[in-house]
Amino acid sequence: MNKARMGWMVVALIFVLSIVTPAVFAAKGLPMTMEKKGLNQSFQNAADEYDVPVSLLMAIGYVETHWEQNDGKASQMKGYGIMQLMDDKQGTLRLASRLTGVNQDTLKKDSSENIRGAAAVIDSFAKKSNKPRPQTLGEWYEVVADYAGFKDPSVTRMFADDVYDVLQKGVSQKVHGEELSIHSQTVKPHRGSLAHIETTAGKPDYESAEWEPVADGNFTAANRGSEDIKYIVIHTTQGSYSSAINWFQNPKSKVSAHFVLRSKDGEVTQMVHNRSIAWHARDYNTHSIGIEHEGYVEKSGWYTDKMYRSSAKLTRWLCEKYKIPMDRKHIIAHSEVPGTTHTDPGSKWDWDQYMKLVKE
């Protein structure tokens, strides 16, 4: 075979691969963008394109999902992707699609486009503000609060404070073999209208908890006592701490839990009084207490030691208060409730460790 003919064959092969390879990836549902670049580059490109600080963009993504795409599946709160673009009344998914020209299905499934869509939304919120465009990280606080999209200002501040806590303390995590990091830095958040929010009226049963009540139509008022409460059901939020609290405060959700715990430090928020019935475990609702834990089923890194210890302390207190036996027949997984389709808290939950802590 002469060299000229071989050269033409190579050119032809390259041409065929340039057509076939994208088609193969598309047929398998694989985003081409992730084949070309990692998450670090995706965050940087989106930050550069929309003039949003890359560390801020990454911090929001970390608070929302720990930088996990969740396979394009919706969270319990109807959020998609690393940046939890919302397919609800808040409509950040639709807004991102309009701003970027990328269809919603791609924004849900493609990590790079999901990050880019979030950057576009954050940029649009900054432009709509009556204030000059933020020049320092601290000045982006109210834009971050707008991105949360929560009605309750105390829950909104909770989300924004979590983002700024990540910025100040820094974080490093390996995601699918790639190391992502935010270096610790001194940041003074400019909270604006959220600087002096009033606490929600009411008092939790558990003295170590914050109080954030669910929407009125998301639970059943009752006067249960020790003879009525027989089980504790362990859940996973399938979303961030603040978004779970916000979801339970949404009258349309028709779900709730008595308690929600934060991953990083085990902070506890009570949302339904123990005497009343939260809507979390089908037929077990009437005789149980529901405890939600921030995180995603089968995703690593959410069930921290601090969360385990805080949750175990709460469970031990409940068992002692309502005379519930401290065993696996009475402290159960959501997945163990008869008739449920849920799988939480999943295989990443360490029951041996948890029950040992409960009994300490």
Per-residue pLDDT of the chain (360 residues; tens, 9 = 90+): 554 454 554 444 444 444 444 333 333 333 333 334 799 999 999 999 999 999 999 999 999 999 999 888 899 889 999 999 999 877 999 999 999 999 999 999 999 999 999 999 999 999 998 889 999 999 999 999 999 999 999 999 999 999 999 999 999 999 999 999 999 999 999 999 999 887 666 899 999 999 999 999 999 999 999 999 999 999 999 999 999 999 999 999 999 999 999 999 999 999 999 999 999 999 999 999 999 999 999 898 999 999 999 999 999 999 999 999 999 999 999 999 999 999 999 999 999 999 999 998
Tell me, what's the pLDDT at 199? 64
Where residue 347 falls (left for φ over 0; alpha for ψ -120 to 50; beta otherwise) is alpha
Environment class of 282 (CB within 10 Å of its CB; exposed 0-12, middle 13-18, buried 19+) = middle
Interatomic CA distance for residues 50 and 99, integer angstroms: 11
Tell me, what's the pLDDT at 76? 86
Tell me, what's the pLDDT at 200? 66
Tell me, what's the pLDDT at 72? 83
* Reported pTM: 0.85
Interatomic CA distance for residues 300 and 296, integer angstroms: 8
Q: Which residues of 97-245 form beta strands (DSSP E)?
A: 171-175, 178-182, 210-211, 219-220, 231-236
| β partners of residue 291 | 234, 259
**181-210 core/surface letters (b: 16 or more CB in 10 A; e: else):** ebeeeebebbbeebeeeeeeeeebbbeebb
Q: What count of Cα atoms within 13 Å lies in the side-chain half-sphere of residue 188?
A: 1
Tell me, what's the pLDDT at 26? 35
Tell me, what's the pLDDT at 129? 80
If one counts every other C-beta atom within 10 angstroms of the C-beta of residue 141, the result is 24
3-state SS assignment for residue 97:
helix
Interatomic CA distance for residues 150 and 271, integer angstroms: 16
Identify whether the C-beta of residue 331 lies closer than 8 Å to the C-beta of residue 273. no
